[in-house]
Amino acid sequence: MAKKKLQLGRSVATPDSPGSAVLDRVPNPQADTRYVARFTFPEFTSICPVTGQPDFGILIIDYVPDRWLVESKSLKLYLQSFRNHGAFHEDCTVAIGRRIADLLAPHWLRIAGYFNPRGGMPIDVFWQTGTPPEGVWLTDPGVALYRGRG
């Protein structure tokens, strides 16, 4: 069986949709240690499926890896693929969390989506795979509850 070629280190176009995006994983060289890895995506964009208007938010993904790490370039491309994707905030956030959890089978994963107001009301979405492992250091997501977020 041929080894799958990663997107890292080569030119790759932004996928047209989340369904066509490829997420790569790499072996965790510290698999014997429980630690938290965090990805912050401060310019997440998707499309409102009703109005067609753009929605903007901040995504924070924390996970405790087991055997695999998500490769960051593929994650960036995957998240960018939502720019022309019509879905509600809740759907985007949970779908991203599930896809990463399915790929990695981490000890634990959580995702927080902090979306800018539309119609005067922000929507914040939180999802996790279960209880975090004992003894890992979990920091606050670092995004203020809505008060202008500035």
Name, in order, each residue with C-beta under 8 angstroms of 96's C-beta and a sequence gap of 6 or more: 18, 59, 61, 78, 79, 111
Task: Return d(Cα 97, Cα 141) in angstroms, integer.
Answer: 15
Task: Tell whether 62 is covered by a domain.
Answer: yes
Task: Tell whether 12 is covered by a domain.
Answer: no
**The domain spanning residue 99 has which CATH number?**
3.30.1130.10
Least confident of 58-62, 69-73, 88-92, 146-150: 146-150
Task: Return d(Cα 44, Cα 60) in angstroms, integer.
Answer: 10
CA-closest candidate to residue 122, choices 96, 147, 95: 147
Known catalytic residues are: 48, 55
DSSP H helices in 2-150: 72-80, 89-104
pTM (2 decimals)? 0.92
Residue 92 corresponds to which tokens in the numbers above? 């985007």
Structural domain that includes position 102: 36-128
Q: What is the pLDDT of residues 70-92, one digit of tens each?
A: 999 999 999 999 999 999 999 99
Would you state the pLDDT for residue 1? 47
Q: What is the pLDDT of residues 19-36, one digit of tens each?
A: 999 999 999 999 999 999
Task: Tell whether 85 is covered by a domain.
Answer: yes
Task: Pick 9 or 67 by higher pLDDT.
Answer: 67
Residue 58 has pLDDT above 90, yes or no: yes
